[in-house]
Chain A
Amino acid sequence: MKRNLLSACLMLLLAGPMMAASLDEDMATYRKDLLEINKRLLLMEEELLFPADTQVTVFVGLDVGRFFTPDSITIKLDGETVDSYLYTEKEVKALKAGAIQKVHTANVKDGEHELTVFVTGLGPNGRPYRRAGTLNFDKGSGRLFIQLTLKDDTASQQALLEFRQWQ
């Protein structure tokens, strides 16, 4: 009788941590499954919205960012404004730390196109600053990536726009 009572107490004592461990494991499994399905959905959404053959993606990055702190960016594709974006402090911080923002994805036909980017923000000495740059690109088959880098030019103490593209 005494032994039964003791084992019942022991079971009760062990039940709590075991249940917690099982809950932790179930949560971890759920998170794994969720990440997997989220990935598949993101891939499918992109595949449906922007098929590889027509997709053009524009990335924006800062190189050092001493002479320029971006405030907003406007993107024109073939003369038409397709996207505008206002940056938060956290986003600017991330860009200054070396991150790259995927700012716009679009569908374009094969052939020649014109991409124009306007960036506003604070330049040297905290003065409002505005830069613009244009890239003429030829879209072939397959995805096209365009990277815009706002580079610090030490000589002029200003930011320069630099485009780079790759398939």
Chain B
Amino acid sequence: MAVKKTVAGIWSWRARLALLALLQVVPAIADDGSERAYRIDRPHPVTDPAYGDILYYYYQRQNFAAMSAILVALDRGALPQQSERARVLLGALYADYAMPGEAERLFDTLLAEAVDQSLANRIWIYLADIYYRRGQYQKALDILDARVVSAPDDLQQHFLTLRTRVLMKLGRYADTRETLDALETGTVSAYLRYNLAVSRINAGEGEQGTRLLWELVNLPPGDAEINALKDKAMLALGVHYLRTGQGERARHLLGAARLDGPYSEMALLLHGRAWLAGDSPRTALSSLQALSKRSMQFEEAQEAGLALPFLYEKLNDLPRARDAYRASIRAYTDHFSYLSALDQKIRSGEWFQQLVGDGHWSTAMDPLPVFEPARVDSFATFRSLFASHAFQKYWRAYHEQQRQVHLVQRWSQRLPALDQLLAAHIRKHRSDIPDALALLAEVNAHGSEQALQSLRERLARAYQDMNAKVLALPQERQWLEQLALAREKAGKREGKLPAEKADQLALYQGLVTWQVLSRIEPRRWQYERRLQALDDELARSLLLRENVKRLTEGDISRVTDLGHALAGLHNELGALDQRGRQLLARLQRVIEGLALTQVQQTRERLQFFTAECWAALGDLQHRAVKERMKQNLSGQAPGSKSSE
């Protein structure tokens, strides 16, 4: 009788565990949904090409590359028109990248700068999400209701999802339902519906909760995720009916549960429990027998090891009950040994290495690799752990951290190449700069500006003085010179040369001078044009000289700055690599700690189950002895000597 009480106690304890497991919200999966909702992936006008380049990464879910592209573009001033939009996107990516503090700071700055209302709406939604994740539900709701004027189209679903979650957390279930109904149907909506149902049942609103669960159960078959959620909803309904004493409804429902999928073990156990609690325990036999044949790694199979012999006992099949208790003790002992070995494996780091495997880290910008549980032998042992929010959070963080360490290593490998590039720049600087400076000095010494100025002055004087010699064409100048020479010679031979010849020379000279001076304006224009062309050339030359001068001076500081920066980067990368590895080790310890906690809990449960089996066996033995004694006593006729 004592054993029965204990087993019944375990059942109720187990039932509570099942209820807890089933009637719990599912944050891990819902969080995935919210990550998807961060996307701003509707086409919108791109005016800055750098912004288009950012979107090129963002639309491919290469968030790290997108963040880097935004930071580079902002640093370079390459976003003259879309910097606010890019910064809002950066904030959203920060929040998505588990940097809520940075995101909040950036959003506060943007709001203080009074951004455009459509961007402000976006920012408030992201901020509300950050507060929700921090557990500041009322603050999140106040923002969603008071600050968001209208949710942008691409964030509409995210807005509704977030508001649903916040309202649910605040216990405002009627409002939650209203918001939930406005949400598009899909996986996220189904999970939220399940969470709302569970929250309402736990809050004592069984009728409303079961109605929601039935909606999920009656969903048309979908993908593996939806089918698993349908199963879960069905089991949750079964648990609720069992809990509220509606055994018949529970048995009917659990009889229709699927026997494959992630909840099949739970379905078998609950089915067994429902029938065991009813009037015909024999019907529970098939479920418990099926469950006891499954791996002892499943918690439900461990429990079946205790429930099945109890059922035999209830059916008064005591020899089978005895055998089953002994078989369970052996199975528990074997599993206990397995857990001890697993414990060692976890502590030595071997388990974790198996779990991580050889990841493919071709570039630092790829999306995170998918977790492949097939690589882990102990998958079944940690099935619930792997599905937990805590594990998923740190597992993703570990992968992300590993990628970051790889990125740091990649940069460390590339630094020598950058060193070489810088050295080439320095060499070029050393050879080119002195040449350039020498050329500049030579050009400056040439005095082109002064020469041009002198030419301008000469032209002005010649025009003012009507100086035909200066304004003459080369041929005319030659004639004028020759005529002047001839007249000079004629003067020396005065008296010998006929007078008409001297007059003739004077006439010719006058004619040529007339020819020149009569065209003085066009001549002056021609010279002015030539001087202007020279002026333009000189301006170009000055610009070139300025450029060369700026480059020689700028190059000195540029090369020096690059050299200093590169030396600093060597040290910073080294420190970052070390910090990254330390974080990896800490994350590994956290994940191993979660696994060890589960192993310890399983061991305690197994110890408890084993003790109960031994107690039940002792009880059976006691009953057998008592019955034998009773038989012996009843078989002994009064006065018989043999019995004595």
Residues of A within 8 A of B (CB): 19-20, 23-28, 30-45, 47-49, 53, 59, 61, 90-91, 93-102, 141, 145, 147
Contact = CB atoms under 8 A, between A and B. Distances in A.
A91 B52 contact: no
A14 B100 CA distance: 22
B401 interface: yes
B44 A34 contact: no
Interface in B537-580: 547, 551, 558, 562, 565-566, 569, 572-573, 576, 579-580
B111 interface: no
Given A28-B99, A37-B573, A48-B421, 19 more contacts: A20-B590, A25-B101, A26-B583, A27-B98, A32-B99, A32-B102, A34-B580, A35-B67, A35-B68, A37-B569, A38-B68, A38-B411, A39-B71, A47-B558, A91-B56, A97-B43, A99-B53, A100-B46, A141-B547
Interface string B14-50: 0000000000000000000000000001111110010
Contacts of A27: 98, 397, 401, 583
A87 B515 CA distance: 75
B59 interface: yes
A42 B66 CA distance: 13
Interface centre among A24, A38, A40, A47 (most CB of B within 10 A): A38
Interface string B402-413: 001001100100
A28 B565 contact: no
B562 A98 contact: no
Nearest to B76: A43
Contacts of A28: 98-102
Contacts of B49: 59, 61, 100, 102, 145, 147
Interface of B: 41-46, 49, 51-53, 55-56, 58-60, 64, 67-68, 71-72, 75-76, 97-102, 397, 401, 404, 407-408, 411, 414, 418, 421-422, 425, 547, 551, 558, 562, 565-566, 569, 572-573, 576, 579-580, 583, 586-587, 590
Nearest to B61: A90
A95 B562 CA distance: 35
22 contacts: A27-B98, A28-B98, A30-B404, A30-B579, A37-B573, A37-B576, A38-B407, A41-B569, A43-B72, A53-B551, A94-B60, A96-B43, A97-B55, A99-B46, A99-B55, A99-B56, A100-B52, A100-B53, A100-B55, A101-B52, A101-B56, A102-B53
B41 A97 contact: yes
Q: Is the interface of A mostly helix, strand, loop or mixed?
A: helix
B237 to A, nearest CB: 33
Nearest to A166: B49
A30 to B, nearest CB: 6
Given A34-B408, A38-B411, A97-B43, A44 B102 contact: no
A100 B562 contact: no
A48 B41 CA distance: 34
A61 B46 contact: yes
Contacts of A147: 49
Contact of A99 (B52, B68, B404, B586): B52
A91 to B, nearest CB: 7
Contact of A94 (B56, B97, B98, B572): B56
Nearest to A93: B59
Contact of B68 (A33, A39, A96): A39
B370 to A, nearest CB: 16
A97 B75 contact: no
A48 B562 contact: yes
